[in-house]
A = this chain, B = another copy of it.
Amino acid sequence: MPLKLYYDLMSQPSRTLFILLKKVQCDFEPKYVDLRKAEHYSEEFTNQINRMQRVPVIDHNGFILSESVAIVRYLAQEKMIPESLYPSDSKLRARVDEYLEWQHVGLRWHCAMYFRVKSLEPALLGRQTDEKTLAGYKRRMLRALDDFDQKWLGIRNQFVVGDTLTVADLFAATELEQPRMAGYDPKEHYPAIATWAKKVQEHFNPYYDEAHVTVNKIATKQIQMAKL
C-alpha cells in the first residue's frame, strides 16, 4: 500500500488524519504506535520515523513527513484530499490556513495541557497536580474555548470558516474531544460548539465515532468518577 499512517487514537491530530483518510477512501496502511507504552520514544521510531518522537507521521512511498497540518497540505498537493475539504482557491485556502495556524497556540496547546496536567500526568506519575496550578490551566483553556466559540464560530456561519465544512472543522472537533478525558466537555458549556460539533461528527461518521471509541470510554469513566 502506498501510504502508511503512524498514529495513536489518543492523539488529537492522529484522529484527524485517521478520520480524514478513511472519509476520502484512502486505502492506507495503519501503523499503530502505542503512546502509553512509549513506543514513540523507541530507538526504531526515533531514528527511522520521527526524530521529534511524535505521531502522526505519514510514509508516502518512502517520503516520511510529520506535523498533521503539513501532512494535510502535502496530501492536498498530491490530490488525495478533495477540493471541498481544503480549497485550492487562494483566498478560501488562506482562511482555512489562518485557522490552522491560529489553533496551535490559540486552542490546541491549552486543551492538550489541561488534559495532560489534570489526567495524564497524575495517571503516569502517580501524583495529583496542585489545585492552583490546575486552576491556571483550566482558566487558560476556558479563555481559548471562549475565543473559539465567539471569534471563530460566533462570527461565521455554520462552520469554522464560512458555510462549508473544511479540514479546519475536523482539526477543531478532535481537539475539543480531548478535555472530555479530563472530565470537561466543551459541548456542555457552549451551545454553539455543541450544535457545530454534531454536524462535524455526522459528516465524518462512521469514522469519527470509530476514532473516538477509546476517548469515549475514558470520558464516560470520568463522568462516573465525578458522580462517586
Binding site for B on A (CB under 8 A): 51-52, 63, 65-71, 73-74, 77-78, 90-91, 93-95, 97-98, 100-102, 104-106, 108-109, 147, 151, 155
Chain B nearest Cβ from A51, distance in angstroms: 5
Q: Which of B66, B70, B109 is within 8 Å of A100, CB to CB?
A: B70
With A and B bound together, what is the CA distance between A155 and B52 in angstroms? 12
B77 touches A90 (CB 8 A): yes
- Identity of the chain B residue whose Cβ is nearest the Cβ of A147 in the assembled complex: B52
Closest chain B CB from A42 CB (angstroms): 16
Cβ contacts under 8 Å, A70 to chain B: 94, 97-98, 100-101
> Mostly helix, strand, loop or mixed at chain A's interface?
helix
| B65 adjacent to A151 (CB under 8 Å) | no
- The distance from the CB of A124 to the nearest CB of chain B, in whole angstroms, is 18
When the two chains form the complex, which single residue of B51, B73, B74, B104 contacts A155, counting CB atoms closer than 8 Å?
B51
**Alpha-carbon distance A51/B68, docked complex (angstroms):** 26
How far is the CB of A132 from the nearest CB of chain B, in Å?
12
Q: How many Å lie between the Cα of A38 and that of B100 in the bound state?
A: 26
The 9 closest A-B pairs by CB, nearest first: A104-B104, A70-B97, A67-B101, A74-B94, A77-B90, A70-B98, A69-B101, A70-B101, A67-B98
Q: Given A73-B94, A109-B109, 17 other A-B contacts at CB below 8 A?
A: A51-B151, A52-B106, A52-B147, A63-B94, A65-B98, A66-B98, A67-B102, A69-B101, A74-B90, A74-B93, A74-B94, A74-B97, A77-B90, A77-B93, A77-B94, A105-B105, A105-B108
